[in-house]
Amino acid sequence: METRFAPSASTDNDTLVFAIRTDGVAQLPSHIDMADAARIARFNGECGSLVESFATVEGEVRRVILLGVGGAGESDMEKAGGALVARLLTSGAKQAGIFFEAAGPVAAAAITRLAFGATLRAWRIDKYRTRLPEKQKPTLETLELVSAVECAAEWARLSEVAEGVKFTRELVAEPANIIYPESFVERCRALEPLGVKLTVLDEKEMAELGMGALLGVAQGSVRKPRMLAMEWNGTDDADATPLVLVGKGVTFDTGGISIKPAAGMEDMKWDMGGAGAVAGTLRALAGRKAKARVVGICGLVENMPDGNAQRPGDIVTSMSGQTIEVINTDAEGRLVLCDAMTWAQHIYKPETLIDLATLTGAILVALADQHAGLFTNDDALADSLTAAGASAGDPVWRFPLGEAYDKMINSPIADMKNVGGRFAGSITAAQFLKRFVDDGVKWAHIDIAGMVWADKPGSVWEKGATGYGVRLLDRLVADQFEQ
């Protein structure tokens, strides 16, 4: 779907959309006779609500839609854009023009957020569907936003963020026979023309560095692990201290020897959602030429249960030198992350490190699919992430850390074990990761297990991969790390 901005409407529009604020129906243009339809539908401009009809306009029958934009703030406009595309995408409409006069003065930032929401909601993955019914195929080709205000600069930025979200969704949605550690790296080669520098470690190089925790997870699979670093530097300083993002990239998770139940295991193709979010964030930052230095690290493995797989009770030695008793091979993400975090700190010397991971089922018990869990050693970083999530539409909720929780992962035979007891599973997982954070480094762990995949459509996504994390991290960089 093409999105464009125009000072006047094209005559090719087969659908006319009028943005209406809450209780603003009386402001409709006089030539649009939809007041009775709005009254019968009890439409009052509530954000995301629609009234649809057909009318003869300039001698042609056209689809006419009243689109509720609430108070016409940025978040309302984004939600409205998503609702509009959800209605029109497969409706038979080809070109829709959106008019804002009836909504009163609307800022360029708000108009572009409507386009942003519409663009995100239009994304789908149909490449494997060879017999899609005609009425389920997308028809909407163009969305034209008719406005006198200049939106080009703001849209240039937001459209690149949208591309980052779509790149993450693509990685997360692909099946595990298509996306595995080596092919994940190859997909990310598409970032190199944008100016992103890629560094890749293979199994031998990771073994030489002592990454026994990550390699222990990978040893049961014929798919070889990879460590991927993606670096974007939009500053004039080659030695600028980078923000480092680390993503869990378990491209398929059977649970290993501690195997998962068969029902629902197909969903574990998205256990690399943290790595997907990091890759999408680098795509967004490079696309919009962010004036910051950011490094994204992805620890990429497949967790399988063959005769060479690690066993419950095995002890592995991490790159940091700390030893780990593997109580449960299905608590593998933290084993991948700890070596990725150690390597990231060793090579890039960050002041701030943020990891994202589909780490625990316990976070869904606590937060369902409404927030990601946030754990951090720095209050200011917590505040910045919370604010960025709220404004960008990727919300987080902070959880506690503490010595009592940390003691729950002490092992009688090694430095630590990879799981605690039955309770506080998300917190003890975070405490595990905290043991691998160097002194003085500001660190945040974001457990996104409830956010990367949706069982039903949302305001700006279809059922499936959501692209969670890209908007959050892009906004954080814009607010806190750009020069």
Residue 291 among the catalytic residues: no
Q: What is the CATH number of the domain that holds 27?
A: 3.40.220.10
372-376 and 442-447 beta bridge pairing: antiparallel
Range of the domain at 474: 159-481
Q: What is the CATH number of the domain that holds 177?
A: 3.40.630.10
Number of folded domains in the chain?
2
Q: Where is the domain boundary, 150, 173, 189?
A: 150
Q: Return the pLDDT at 28.
A: 74
pLDDT (tens digit per residue) in 220-279: 999 999 999 999 999 999 999 999 999 999 999 999 999 999 999 999 999 999 999 999
Q: Where is the domain boundary, 150, 183, 205?
A: 150
Q: Where is the domain boundary, 150, 185, 208?
A: 150
**Angle, helix 152-173 to helix 108-122, in steps of 10 degrees:** 20
Q: Domain check: are 173 and 126 in the same one?
A: no
Among the listed residues 185, 225, 229, the one whose alpha carbon sits nearest the alpha carbon of residue 336: 225
Q: Return the pLDDT at 148.
A: 78
The active-site residue out of 157, 283, 293, 334 is: 334
Q: Domain check: are 137 and 184 in the same one?
A: no
Could you tell me the two tokens for 156?
A: 């240039």
Whether 121 and 464 have beta carbons less than 8 Å apart is answered as no
Those residues of the chain that have pLDDT short of 50 are: none
Q: Domain check: are 164 and 144 in the same one?
A: no
Q: Domain check: are 211 and 138 in the same one?
A: no
Report CA dihedral (83, 88, 94, 96) to the nearest 10 degrees.
-40
The active-site residue out of 62, 124, 260, 434 is: 260
Q: Domain check: are 144 and 180 in the same one?
A: no
197-201 and 323-325 beta bridge pairing: unpaired
Could you tell me the two tokens for 119?
A: 């663009």
Q: Domain check: are 121 and 194 in the same one?
A: no
Could you tell me the two tokens for 449?
A: 């297990």
Give every CB contact of residue 43 below 8 A, 6+ residues apart in sequence: 20, 25, 37, 49, 50, 51, 66, 68
Cα–Cα dist 72/114, whole Å:
10
Cα–Cα dist 53/353, whole Å:
52
Residue 260 among the catalytic residues: yes
Q: Return the pLDDT at 55.
A: 84
Whether 289 and 153 have beta carbons less than 8 Å apart is answered as no
